[in-house]
Structure 1
Amino acid sequence: MQESDIEPALKNLFDNSSIALALASTDRDNPLVLANEQFYKLTGYDSTDVIGRNCRFLQRRSDGECASNDEARRKLHAFIHGDEANVRAPIVNFRRDGRPFVNLLFMSKLKASTGQVRYIIASQFDVSRTHPDLLRAYDDALGNTLARLKPLLDGHNVMVEGTLATIANSTTTIAQAKLALAELETNSPY
């Protein structure tokens, strides 16, 4: 699947979103087929670095260092291979320059009217050092983006599955994410 295969309205939503978004195909290893400028600003990568690759490359720094992310990986694996409509999990990622950050990852399956998953949409947010008001603003922006996404997909026999309850703020999740980052930074040369 190529970016040219993606509906123009969906591309327009990505281009005009104030939050980091990525779209993965359900082919092979869930390669990214679209990401927006906010995603590139957050990660430091550009389209030539990410399109066609699975997002898991963000979990490893160029020198090979990798955060454990065991709990997040279990949640993401269960989401990809299970019946869950969406998932939200903190995961330690690395920017292109090697700096770690805690990504509060939201993923949702976009299904055709036949029930077949067509895409996986993901939103990323750096909660490493985020003030609670910024997280609330992000949650509101994500909710608005998903609400705008639904009518865009209706004409294409694709729907966002699940509820917006998944994006509810979780203080425990944020605290765990910050602890994981602190442990990583203690052992990191960066």
Structure 2
Amino acid sequence: METHLPEALSAYLRDSRVALAIASAEDDNPLLFVNQAFCTLTGYDADDVLGRNCRMLQRQATNEEARARLREFLAQPRQANVRTPIVNFRKDGTPFVNLLYMSRLRGTDGTVRFMFASQFDVSRSQPDLLADYDEQLAATLGRLAPIAGDAGIVVEGTLLAIANTAATVAQAKIMLDDLNRADHE
């Protein structure tokens, strides 16, 4: 399993304000890197999550549709990326709806070297905050590509189509409401 991220790539990811994670492309996709924004969002320290699959954030949530989309992405090597809302839990047990974006990072030889993921809490967000996140993520991907390229890594796919902001926020609120209702039954 490759665990070494090129230093320029690590530095860029570390300094991003967007919650980012890098996982191995092998085995069960254990996390190799999370930045401070990820730790702030989830409440977990890097030591809590490194070496574990990010699905640990789902706890008891069913996430059937999101899981199906993620399984499809992982099973389809030609699918460039996936973006889906998914119920996650912070370390303290507080649920939130994570707008998860994932793509593959390939070596110049075409081999998938890493999985790249970005997270954003849309559960209590306003559409303008999500639009700001979309802009930040698009900028992150735009700046990531040449840095990764210098390290011999190709960022697969780009964020060409941003999901309808209002619909994404509405879907997140429904998911959180369903989760809260299930907790009180």
TM-score normalised by length of structure 1: 0.91
Aligned to 1:48: 47
Decide whether the 8 Å contact of 1:88 with 1:167 is kept in 2.
no
Residues 69-126 of structure 1 show CA distances to partners (whole Å, capped at 9, x for unaligned) of 1000010011111021001000000000001000000001111122211111100000
Q: CA deviation at 1:2?
A: 6.8
Contact 1:88–1:166, Cα closer than 8 Å, also in 2 = no
Other-structure match for 1:24? 23
Residue aligning to 1:115: 110
Q: Secondary structure at the match of 1:165?
A: coil
Unaligned runs of 5+ in 2: none
Q: How many residues align?
A: 183
- Residue 30 of structure 1 aligns to a residue whose secondary structure is coil
Matching of residue 88 in structure 1 with residue 83 in structure 2: yes
Work out the CA distance in 2 between the residues paired with 1:114 and 1:174.
Answer: 39
Which residue of the partner structure matches residue 38 of structure 1?
37
Work out whether 1:184 is the aligned partner of 2:174: no
* 1:136-155 superposed matches below 5 A: 136-155=131-150
Query: Which digits, 9 at most, give the CA deviation of each residue in 1:34-78, with x for residues without a partner?
Result: 000000000000011100000000000xxxxx1111000010011
Q: Which shows bigger deviation, 88-97 or 11-20?
A: 11-20
- d(CA) in 1 for partners of 2:107, 2:8: 16
- Structure 1 residue 172: Cα displacement: 2.8
Do the aligned residues in 2 keep the contact of 1:87 with 1:166 (CA within 8 Å)?
Answer: no
Unaligned runs of 5+ in 1: 61-65
Is the 8 Å Cα contact of residues 83 and 101 (structure 2) preserved in structure 1?
Answer: yes
Q: Distance in 1 between matches of 2:12 and 2:108?
A: 21
Distance 1:44 1:173, change over 3 A: same
Q: For 1:167 and 1:92, how far apart are their aligned partners in 2?
A: 20
- The CA distance in 2 between the partners of 1:180 and 1:174, in whole Å, is 10
Indicate which of 122, 131, 135 corresponds to 1:127: 122
Deviation at 1:170, TM superposition (A): 4.2
So what's the TM-score if we normalise by structure 2?
Answer: 0.93
Q: Please give the root-mean-square deviation of Cα atoms over the aligned residues, in Å.
A: 1.4
